[in-house]
Structure 1
């Protein structure tokens, strides 16, 4: 009886060891060395190959490795009584979209987007701003 129990126990240990070792092990791959510039956009950390943030520049989420494209747009939340079309005309901004008190303004080609966002953020009547990024073909704020 002891031999039977001992044999069964050894067999069970062998099976559990074999099943534990059959799991695949994945090696973490580092992000590309070309992504040497760290930037913070909309409260998240990203890496970029370019030190200048321009329309079309690819940024990579530092945590997930997901790549996004800068749209060249800034989403601005305006004070409730401000008319976005009048605001854009008064400040020589290209208004792309407006809904309620949110407006999307597009930068001119070649404009450094940090400076563009800071300019809009500094205007009277703007309560908050975010960079526009392209996520898998869908524009997002």
Structure 2
């Protein structure tokens, strides 16, 4: 029972972070550009769990060489990449909560889903669009 309570408290911390955006992690070293996926992406993430107090949030990711180099709108760290075929695979760590993000980017847009170890915000979806810069 104690484990469930702690997990819920961590989930609540994650949600508080989503409600009050901040920048995540330092930028990584520059890598070779990958046409089509590099640049800034505006992401709209939603939670599927009924009890999740934050139903949606806006994030901004910067991709360079197919790697996530910056994520604004969420404290913590984001590591991951976009494969040459557009497959997205990203791991997030925020206040002890981990989340796995999967999906696909193509033609300047993308969509997918996410899941986490949070009891109250365990899963959801996302959609993204590449911005002009």
Report the TM-score, using the length of structure 2 for normalisation.
0.26
Report the TM-score, using the length of structure 1 for normalisation.
0.25
The structure with more radius of gyration:
1
More strand by share: 2
Task: Between the two structures, name the one with larger relative contact order (CA 8 Å, sep ≥ 6).
Answer: 2
